[in-house]
Amino acid sequence: MDKSLVTETPDELLDKAEKDIATIKVLLPKKFYPEDMMYDIMCFHATMAVEKILKSYIIINGKNIEKTHDLSYLCKSAMGIDDTFENISNDCASLNDFIPKIKYSSKIPITKQDIDKIVKSLNNICDFPPIKAIRDSFNEKHQYGIIDEENA
């Protein structure tokens, strides 16, 4: 097996992606001081979720994919399978722009406006029909979901 290729299964990738998304859903409505305390963590989980979802989609469709964190590259690879992935290419590029900020610098903070943009891009990608279909199938198979505290 080529060590430069992703070796995880689609289910392993989707499991981690769903946990990344759940982390954002839990953190987003919380109030922190300072307000931006958790923004970089939410941004990190958003980019990681999209990376894992795109890799999963590519592997499900019988293709190998290199180990990379480049969301634009992963989106282009998915476009090789289904050209409608062009519809989320701007969202992937937008999220891609945040990766260096969250990994390497605290001098360029993630703002509330950034988080709004990040969550919007994440939602656009998650609601994109080919992505939604594999997430729905995975979540149904594994019975994943968030339970409201009132209904727990």
Check if the beta carbon of residue 118 is closer than 8 Å to that of residue 36: no
- Nearest Cα neighbor of 43 from 55, 56, 28 is 28
Tell me if residue 40 falls in helix, strand or coil. Answer: helix
Tell me if residue 62 falls in helix, strand or coil. Answer: coil
Lowest mean pLDDT of 5-19, 107-121, 132-146, name the range. 132-146
pLDDT reported for residue 145:
66
User: What does pTM read for this prediction?
Assistant: 0.90
Check if the beta carbon of residue 28 is closer than 8 Å to that of residue 119: yes
Q: Which fold has domain 10-144?
A: Four Helix Bundle (Hemerythrin (Met), subunit A) (1.20.120)
The whole-number average pLDDT for the span 121-130 is 97
pLDDT reported for residue 151:
43
Reply yes or no on whether the pLDDT at 138 is more than 70. Answer: yes
CA–CA gap between residue 5 and residue 18 (Å, rounded): 22
End-to-end C-alpha distance for the chain, whole angstroms? 44
Q: Cα 49–52–53 angle (5° rounding)?
A: 85
Q: For 57-82, what is each residue's pLDDT tens digit?
A: 999 999 999 999 999 999 999 999 99
pLDDT reported for residue 31:
86
Ranges of each domain in the chain: 10-144
